[in-house]
Amino acid sequence: MSKLQVETISHTNNTTGMTISSGGVVDTPKQENRYELIKAYSSASNSSLGTVSGSSNSAHINFAGVFAEHYITYKLVVGWFGSVHGSNHEVSLRFLTGTNTEVTANSYRYHIHRMNDGSDSYVGNNSTGTDRAQIFRQISAGSSQTNVGMHGEINFYNLTNVTVEGQSSSVRFDSTADLAPIISSDMMGFDTLSSNYSRELAFCRYNTSNVNGYYTGFTLMGETGELAGTHMALYGLRVS
């Protein structure tokens, strides 16, 4: 058996192509047109992520300072999210500005389309002006319930002025205040009100434009916190 023991692997011009940490973790330079991990959260105990994420509300999981001009879009992958709330409620999203300030103006326009395995019809809910975007309706759990919670993905667009092939996204608009975020969400889980499994598709636009750098992140909001074992990870598609 042979073993190569190095800390870096470089090109002949001494440009580092790979580093290996003392723990054996390989790190490579940032590469365009690839998703890369920005931030991940795992809950070791009930209602812990609010504090971990810097939120003043234990039910709000903040992804603060995650939006940057070298990412053109973002994807939040929710491996599993469970709620300690004992009755039916919604999971929603707000954007953040500054360090950890929630954007609460009634400018969120959304539609959520729900389909469950107990019915061949669909249920829709919408708003043309509210203070949050709904992602999943009628979720609850409490630690006594099993086989509940939700899984899925949320995609984020139009959050920063991004330069692609020398062209800034700001040239598409006439105003410097040109950024109005839009998201799409696809979640699956257990609808505790109807006692059926449900797939819930949603989109939302925050319908007030702001300048580049105004939106810094987002918060995922339940009612009283997440169940232990909740895990989610945010990725950004790098273009520069």
Q: For each of the chain's 240 residues, which pLDDT tens digit applies?
A: 677 766 777 767 777 766 777 766 665 667 778 999 999 999 999 999 999 999 999 899 999 999 998 999 999 999 999 888 767 788 999 999 999 999 999 999 999 999 999 999 999 999 999 999 999 988 766 555 566 789 999 999 999 888 777 767 655 554 566 789 999 999 998 887 788 889 999 999 999 989 889 999 999 998 888 989 999 999 999 988
Give domain status of residue 156, yes or no. Answer: yes
- How many whole angstroms separate alpha carbon 77 and alpha carbon 61? 14
- The number of domains in the chain is 1
Longest Cα–Cα distance in the chain:
66
Domain range enclosing 55: 31-238
User: What does pTM read for this prediction?
Assistant: 0.87
Strand boundaries in 4-55, DSSP class E: 8-10, 16-20, 26-27, 34-42
Per the CB < 8 A criterion, the answer to whether 82 and 230 are in contact is: yes
- How many whole angstroms separate alpha carbon 105 and alpha carbon 215? 13
Give domain status of residue 164, yes or no. Answer: yes
Give domain status of residue 58, yes or no. Answer: yes
- How many whole angstroms separate alpha carbon 131 and alpha carbon 181? 14
Give domain status of residue 211, yes or no. Answer: yes
Give domain status of residue 18, yes or no. Answer: no
Give domain status of residue 82, yes or no. Answer: yes
Give residue for tokens 């929630």: 102
Give domain status of residue 38, yes or no. Answer: yes
Give domain status of residue 203, yes or no. Answer: yes
